[in-house]
Amino acid sequence: MRIEIYPRAKDDIIRQFRYYLVDQDTPSMAFSFRESVIESIGQLKVHPRMGSMISGSIPGLRSWHLKGFEQIRIYYVAVAGCLRMVRILHSKRDVRRILKQEKQFQKL
């Protein structure tokens, strides 16, 4: 299965990594976060349907938590041999509003 990490999801990863590294001054947490992202995407690659379905404007959207960072979730769509990472967001954010703005995914 091919993995596609969309630009906003990449930005989410970088933003969260920098938050731990710079704002919180916890390099170990930053690198643990990065490893958790890699591990979680690997799990989803093998079992793409294990995430919870999310109703809304993006057909087939699912979410899965990051191990060790349960308040951060990967929002993704699994389609014909491809796993598309839409966003990676902390639950304290207005997730529904943010996902509603992802218009390019509404026709997947």
> Domains (ranges, CATH) in the chain?
2-105 (3.30.2310.20)
**Cα–Cα distance between 79 and 82 in angstroms, integer?**
5
**Cα–Cα distance between 78 and 3 in angstroms, integer?**
9
106 pLDDT exceeds 90? no
108 pLDDT exceeds 50? no
**Cα–Cα distance between 79 and 16 in angstroms, integer?**
27
**Amino acid 61: pLDDT:** 92
Rounded to two decimals, the pTM is 0.90
- Element containing residue 97 per DSSP (H, E): helix 95-100
pLDDT in tens, 44-87: 999 999 999 988 778 889 999 999 999 999 999 998 899 999 99
Asked if residues 19 and 92 have their Cβ atoms less than 8 Å apart, the reply is no
What length is written for the chain?
A: 108
